[in-house]
Amino acid sequence: MPAYKETKMKYGYFDDNAKEYVITSPKTPLPWINYLGTDGFFSLVSNTCGGYSFYKDAKLLRLTRYRYNNVPADNNGKYYYINDGKDIWNPGWQPSKTPLDLYECRHGIGYSRFTGKKNGLKAEVLAFVPVGDNCEINKVTLTNESEEIKAFKLFSYVEWCLWNADDDMKNFQRLLSCGEVEIKGSAIYHKTEYRERRAHYAFFSVNEKIDGFDTIRDDFLGAYNNNDRPDAVVNGKAGNTVASGWSPIASHQINISLKPGESKTLIFVLGYIENPENEKWESYGVINKKPAEAMQARYTTEADTEKAFAALKNYWDELLAKYHVESKDEKVNRMVNIWNQYQCMVTFNMSRSASYYESGIGRGMGFRDSCQDLLGFVHLIPDRARERIIDIASTQFEDGRAYHQYQPLTKKGNSDIGSGFNDDPLWLIAGTSAYVRETGDTSILMEKVPFDNDESKATPLMDHLKRSFDFTATHKGPHGLPLIGRADWNDCLNLNCFSEHPGESFQTFGPGEGPVAESVFIGGMFVKYGKEYADLCELIGDKAEAARALEEVEKMNKTVLSEGWDGEWFVRAYDAYSHKVGSKECEEGQIYIEPQGFCVMAGIGLAEGKAVKALDSVKERLDTEYGVMILQPAYTKYHLELGEVSSYPPGYKENAGIFCHNNPWVSIAETVVGRGDRAFEIYKKTCPAYVEDISEIHRTEPYVYSQMVAGRDAKFHGEAKNSWLTGTAAWTFVNISQYILGICPTHKGLSVDPCVPADFGDFTVVRKFRGATYNISVENKGVQKGVKELVVDGRKIEGTVIPFEEGKSEYNVKVIMG
Ligand code: BGC
Ligand code: NOJ
């Protein structure tokens, strides 16, 4: 009998000291994954050792194969099989699924640890990608916990992907003839296509003499076999096969004998190597392995590996220490201090490319996605945010519009999807403004940046922002609101597309542009980010431009209040016939969340009482116990004039799902009107740590946000989908850190203006900002918002902003709310 229990609602627990989520049952409702890697080399790893690795681009440089949409679920990974003469088992349970005496998976920050026990043998696998190296290390430790000598055989296993993951799934007629490997000592090299246009290869090595190997998949597994009980493992004998074509793998066999109490550690390395064109070969047909051998040599001893692991831990500890809260709510502490920041880094790295829901072969980096991702990431590594801003801005067109996506390897705009998503340009202002507020580095605004990657057309970044601003200011419809184009933030609101046939892309079909369809949401964005643009103009001393911008903003503000107000809430849009979308006049889709959140965040309707009214309508019409739905009532039929939004079954995705990304907008909006209780209530509803107790319903990982939770109209209300890669990560971090806890970077310095539930209690925050450490303690005797007193290093300060002083390294700040 397995010792682990199939608990009903929980499948593990948080270990906050270790910064880990500990999974105690392998049969989680869905694979619960983690990401390894901080820069170039990345691996996804599930709680049962499934997953895959790639270098920089999950489509073009995929190292190992993964089978999406397969049965059994989560098929393929980096597996270690043990044949102890009695059983064949894996420390991470899959793929043999042999019941274990103990199973544990600890997903940590940039690493995962697996422990399996069977028949007196303990097997531990520690998987991580070292900082600054292009490899994944698997430290495998085997311990004999029995009273007898244990002799057993260990087999490793990875299946190579033939590099281009898209081709790998389609182009069998070519690729099944191309696979090539080399074996040298204990390292297996994958060199498919290296003979022609590639100068890179991968390897899988172990720091121990091996007793055999396999590289022909179908020989290792046996014809018609799954990977649960490979022939070689069952027979206890590798075939020493050398692949030629078909599906190459890398498998090592190591025979081990351990005395009672004895342990043995093996270090496996999965590495990626690029050689200069003129140093590709060692001799005719033999790849140059020098850099690979140097990489292997870096991790030969346990001490080397421990050192690399300690460096990784240290790297993360330093990053996470940039924002640290201690409140009486341990779930807030855990999400803010650990998981939310971690997810922000992952979304920044991956954009929407590679997850268990994004196959890594589809879209590249999103223009708007990346701009938003950096809102939650910029405090971690501002220099990388800077670089990203320049990359993104380099894909902008001269007239201010933007490619909707770009490819991470080439950094070129993606012509398949093109442009025409009219919210895109404004997100560039949002990202840049966040960067400058965080760092105070105005030099970025002067940085010369090309248009559409054409260096001859480079102009300062500030000029790009101006064009973003002007694009919206000059593309307005009959009501004076911004034209929507193909869609705005809501990719599925396709008001100019009119797609009637399956298979057509809702986004790129049809004219895409039109002179009539308008977005109130973009109007809200324009007011919010138009003000931030004006602030940047002020900052560089361009008062005239700042004043001009604010005039445009004021014009839009008025227009939204008159043309975008429906009586109880903000209208969502006007369609191509100038009919309202998201209005009480509509039969379905009467109220949408986005304009309520964004317009109130922008401050529209505060003075007129419309802001509060809009938020009350959200509560009344869109709230559920699992979060706030995107719209109501759900569309029950396809509306040609609205597009993809009405294509989803009611309750899913943009059609009345709880689209988590915009829940923080409403929560922030609540802080703008000063309602901390409600802001926090919204925060909690989608917060993974709070829904851990209902994992059976929620189903995705309880330590990260998912893009969507099924809405009230859906059959599986409360069930989440598309975990990990979502703008929810950045926006919730902005919400909790800057608005609820209220520590917000401004151009002049950090502002402290919390908006919390009345009973939230006192809390402290340590915030690293522009090279200084801020030790902030907030006293609260029961109010939701308001700073009665701000004391910085013993001096009382007016307002909420701690003036930034160049060269000062520490600020001790006391805030009394009231
Ligand atoms: C999805 C959106 C996505 C869009 C563009 C739609 O099918 O629902 O979430 O942003 O496609 O890829
Ligand atoms: C997911 C996309 O990545 C994001 O850009 C978009 O805003 C949302 N879906 C809403 O449609």
Q: Which ligand is nearest to the CA of 660?
A: 2
On the question of pLDDT at 3 being above 50, the answer is: no
Q: How confident is the model at residue 5 (pLDDT cuts 50, 70, 90)?
A: very low
**pLDDT at 411 (0 to 100):** 87
Test site for ligand 1: of 491, 661, 708, most ligand atoms within 8 A of the Cβ: 491
Residue 9: predicted pLDDT = 85
Task: Let me know how many helices (H) and strands (E) the chain has, helices first.
Answer: 22, 44
User: Residues 487-515: what's their mean pLDDT?
Assistant: 95
Q: Residue 341 — φ and ψ, nearest 5°?
A: -65, -40
Q: In a mutational test of the pocket of ligand 1, which residue from 492, 648, 652 has the highest number of ligand atoms less than 8 Å from its CB?
A: 492
Closest ligand to C-alpha of residue 487 is 2
Which numbered atom of ligand 2 lies nearest the CA of 654?
11
Task: Flag whether pLDDT at 2 surpasses 60.
Answer: no
Residues with C-beta less than 6 Å from any ligand 1 atom: 491-492, 507, 644, 653-654
Query: Considering the chain, what is the average pLDDT of its residues?
Result: 97
Q: What is the pLDDT of residue 362?
A: 82
> Are the C-beta atoms of 397 and 419 separated by less than 8 Å?
yes
Ligand 2 closest atom vs CA 489: 7
Query: What is the pLDDT averaged over residues 205-213?
Result: 98
Read off the pLDDT band of 354 (50, 70, 90): very high
| 641-645 average pLDDT score | 98
Distance of CA 656 to the CA centre of its chain: 23
Closest-approaching ligand to the CA atom of 491: 2
**Of 417 and 544, which is predicted with more confidence?**
544
- Please choose from 369, 374, 644 the residue to mutate so as to test ligand 2's pocket, defined by most ligand atoms within 8 A of CB: 369
Rounded to an integer, the average pLDDT of 166-174 is 97
The answer to whether the pTM exceeds 0.95 is yes
Q: Residue 750 pairs with which residues in a beta bridge?
A: 745, 802
Q: What integer pLDDT is reported at residue 451 of this predicted model?
A: 97
Q: Which DSSP symbol is given to 61?
A: T
pLDDT tens-place string over residues 736-754: 999 999 999 999 999 999 9
pLDDT at residue 136 tops 80: yes
Average pLDDT over residues 366-380: 97
Model pLDDT, residue 8? 59
Is the CB of 490 within 6 Å of ligand 2?
Answer: yes
Region 39-68: mean pLDDT is: 96
User: Annotated catalytic, 491?
Assistant: yes
pLDDT of res. 269: 98
Has residue 4 got a pLDDT over 80? Answer: no
Q: Whose CA is nearest to atom 12 of ligand 1?
A: 491
pLDDT at 235 over 90: yes
CB of 749 closer than 6 angstroms to any ligand 2 atom? no
Length of the chain as a residue count: 818
The catalytically annotated residue of 214, 228, 423, 491 is 491
Distances (CA, A) of 274 to 39, 179, 278, 631, 689: 16, 18, 12, 49, 41
What pLDDT is attached to residue 7? 46
So what's the pLDDT on residue 62?
98
Contact at 8 Å (CB) between 608 and 561? yes
Q: Dmax over Cα atoms in the chain, in whole Å?
A: 84
How far does residue 492's CA lie from ligand 1's centre (Å)?
A: 6
The burial class, CB within 10 Å (0-12 / 13-18 / 19+), for 525 is buried
Q: Ligand nearest 367 Cα, by number?
A: 2
- In this structure, what token pair is assigned to residue 703? 């330590």
Indicate if the pLDDT at residue 58 is higher than 70: yes
Q: What is the DSSP string of 231-265?
A: HHHHHT-------BSS-EEEEEEEEEEE-TT-EEE
Answer yes or no: is the C-beta of 644 below 6 A from any ligand 2 atom: no
pLDDT at 217 over 70: yes
CB 737 within 8 A of CB 336: yes
**Of 85-99, 243-257, 410-424, 747-761, minimum mean pLDDT range:** 410-424
Q: Is it the case that residue 383 has pLDDT exceeding 90?
A: yes
Query: What confidence score (pLDDT) does residue 363 get?
Result: 72
- What is the mean predicted confidence (pLDDT) over 514-535? 98
**CB of residue 353 inside a 6 A radius of ligand 2:** no
255-286 tens-digit pLDDT? 999 999 999 999 999 999 999 999 999 999 99
Q: What is the pLDDT of residue 1?
A: 38
Q: What is the pLDDT of residue 454?
A: 96
Is any ligand 2 atom within 6 A of the Cβ of residue 423? no
Percent above pLDDT 70 for the chain: 99
